[in-house]
Amino acid sequence: MQAFILIQTEVGKAAAIASEIMTIAGVRTAEDVVGPYDVVVVRVSAGEVHPVVQGIRRVSGITRTLTCDIPEESANKN
């Protein structure tokens, strides 16, 4: 299973936070985006989602996270 992790950050910190998140083991991508969330992270392997979320929550400047699991049948289309 894969998951998207949507992240809200303090104003002006999205790009720096995305770069820092890329250093967390297991993170596939971290992109700063425009919209209600500031950073989108793509994660692989459900067994590793929890440790990655724990690592993300330690990053300074993050105000909120939302983890969205991708059903296996959808993840297999990629």
Each of the 78 residues of the chain gets a pLDDT tens digit; together they read: 678 999 999 999 999 999 999 999 889 899 999 999 999 987 766 678 888 989 999 999 999 999 998 887 665 665
Q: How many domains does the chain have?
A: 1
Structure tokens at 71: 């059903």
Please tell me whether residue 14 adopts helix, strand or coil conformation.
Answer: helix
Dihedral angle computed from the Cα positions of residues 46, 52, 54 and 56, in that order, rounded to the nearest 10 degrees: -140
Residue 30: which CATH number?
3.30.70.920
Are 44 and 24 contacting, i.e. CB atoms less than 8 angstroms apart? no
d(CA 51, CA 57): 10
pLDDT of residue 58: 95
pLDDT of residue 62: 96
3-state DSSP percent of the chain in helix, strand and coil, to 5: 30, 35, 30
pLDDT of residue 70: 83
Please tell me whether residue 16 adopts helix, strand or coil conformation.
Answer: helix
Domain residues for 55?
2-75
